Amino acid sequence: MATEKWVFMVTAQTPTNIAVIKYWGKRDEVRILPVNDSISVTLDPDHLCTVTTVAVSPAFDRDRMWLNGKEISLSGSRYQNCLREIRSRAGDVEDKEKGIKIGKKDWEKLHLHIASHNNFPTAAGLASSAAGFACLVFSLAKLMNVDEDPSHLSAIARQGSGSACRSLFGGFVKWEMGSKDDGSDSVAVQLADEKHWDDLVIIIAVVSSQQKETSSTSGMRESVETSLLLQHRAKEVVPKRILQMEEAIKNRDFASFTQLTCTDSNQFHAVCLDTSPPIFYMNDTSHRIISLVEKWNRSEGTPQVAYTFDAGPNAVLIARNRKVAVQLLQGLLYYFPPKSDTDMKSYVVGDNSILKEAGLDGASGVENLQPPPEIKDNIGSQDQKGEVSYFICTRPGKGPIVLHDQTQALLDPETGLPK
């Protein structure tokens, strides 16, 4: 086998996810075991995803990885743990057409090339590690013919980044914290697929920020060490909230879904404030967006939009349906208009067919926009230009898939090097 020069590869696409009941705090830093369950919504990979090509060849002399075109080191323990776990489960692979035969045992000696690309800017501060590690594990499992279901794969992806385990499924996903010391029962399970609640529309406001943020990993470590609120949250609050959220999702109960999502995001940020020294992830723009949504929801009598914020200032807004999303976008663009030289199609990305419904694809611009009167009062004047870098319009989406179209591969099929 060692004299042959074949390259065998697989390309896959994996979505990112946004937690509506947050994971914050580990009970085991090495295995990445959380202090509470969490629940997320998978985002449509058409708008936010990672594509990864993994290749194996007897010609490769070491494991190598390229992220967004740049070679990165695989020596970190998170990568090493994922690679070790997946290699130990590798099966026999045969490609008769190409005359390739790899036995179970061969995988220990063979080296890998991995190329990964996010279809959204890494600088946007959107959880790229979740989609990244999920895609690494999923594509390697396909390459190595690993015979495990997505929940078992999620336990491997978890060891790359906790939130990655939830990206092994589409729709609505729960990460069960588990109780075993070895982490084998700390896995993700699907609560419902993406078609279960397809009215929902998600608008992400990518908020401009100068500030260097504390990473989730070190932030949550400091919270575990210093925040009493975190302990109360994990023990008393989240277990009940998880059950309520499961019910809300099952019944498509938007009022409960919103109440739980917003409260949980706010409690997560309260834990950050309760950490010593305190961690500030949201900024003034984030707070202005919260006020806008809260006032609107209150004036409507029933919730129209849920908000949630991760370890950064970006707002993830979930509208109950398309009509509400159109109004929401109009309101957001009124308060956070693009800079004058910015084209609307680069200011609202993802599913930007929504621009047409908002009457913003033609000549008439944001100058003529009037948000719903209920949200216009008390939010402040229209002077927030530049606070939001851009908006992404998306929806709940599907889980990982293999991409069979060779033109989408990131590695050259002859050399196994980045194209």
Q: Per CB under 6 A, does 162 bind ligand DP6?
A: yes
How far apart, in whole angstroms, are the C-alpha atoms of residue 120 and residue 127?
A: 10
Q: How far is the CB of 24 from ligand DP6 (least distance, A)?
A: 6
CB 368 within 8 A of CB 419: no
**Cis status of the peptide bond prior to 277, with omega within 30 of 0:** yes
Query: Contacting ligand DP6 (CB under 6 A), which of 119, 145, 217, 266?
Result: 217
Q: How far is the CB of 39 from ligand DP6 (least distance, A)?
A: 9
Q: Per CB under 6 A, does 118 bind ligand DP6?
A: no
Q: How far is the CB of 407 from ligand DP6 (least distance, A)?
A: 32
Query: Contacting ligand DP6 (CB under 6 A), which of 11, 14, 52, 161?
Result: 161
Q: Per CB under 6 A, does 208 bind ligand DP6?
A: no
Q: How far is the CB of 173 from ligand DP6 (least distance, A)?
A: 11
Q: Which is nearer to ligand DP6, 102 or 126 (CB)?
A: 126
Q: Per CB under 6 A, does 389 bind ligand DP6?
A: no
Number of residues that bind ligand DP6 (CB under 6 A): 15
Q: Which is nearer to ligand DP6, 38 or 53 (CB)?
A: 38
Q: Per CB under 6 A, does 57 bind ligand DP6?
A: no
Q: Per CB under 6 A, does 127 bind ligand DP6?
A: yes
CB 289 within 8 A of CB 317: yes
Query: Contacting ligand DP6 (CB under 6 A), which of 53, 216, 261, 308?
Result: 216
Q: Which stretch binds ligand DP6 (CB under 6 A): 159-167, 202-210, 237-245, 250-258?
A: 159-167
Q: Which residue is nearest to ligand DP6 (CB)?
A: 162
Q: What phi and psi, each to the nearest 5 degrees, are found at residue 57?
A: -160, 145
Q: How far is the CB of 194 from ligand DP6 (least distance, A)?
A: 18
**74: alpha, beta or left, given left = phi > 0 and alpha = psi -120 to 50?**
alpha
Q: Per CB under 6 A, does 311 bind ligand DP6?
A: yes
Query: Contacting ligand DP6 (CB under 6 A), which of 44, 264, 274, 310?
Result: 310
Q: Which is nearer to ligand DP6, 216 or 261 (CB)?
A: 216
Q: Which is nearer to ligand DP6, 10 or 177 (CB)?
A: 177
Site for ligand DP6 in 3-32 (CB under 6 A): 19, 22-24, 32
Site mask, ligand DP6, residues 163-202, x = CB under 6 A?
x---------------------------------------
Q: How far is the CB of 312 from ligand DP6 (least distance, A)?
A: 9
Q: Per CB under 6 A, does 315 bind ligand DP6?
A: no
Q: How far is the CB of 262 from ligand DP6 (least distance, A)?
A: 15
Q: Which is nearer to ligand DP6, 24 or 66 (CB)?
A: 24
Q: Per CB under 6 A, does 266 bind ligand DP6?
A: no
Residue 411 tokens read as 């590695």
User: Which residues are near ligand DP6 by CB under 6 A?
Assistant: 19, 22-24, 32, 38, 127, 129, 161-163, 216-217, 310-311
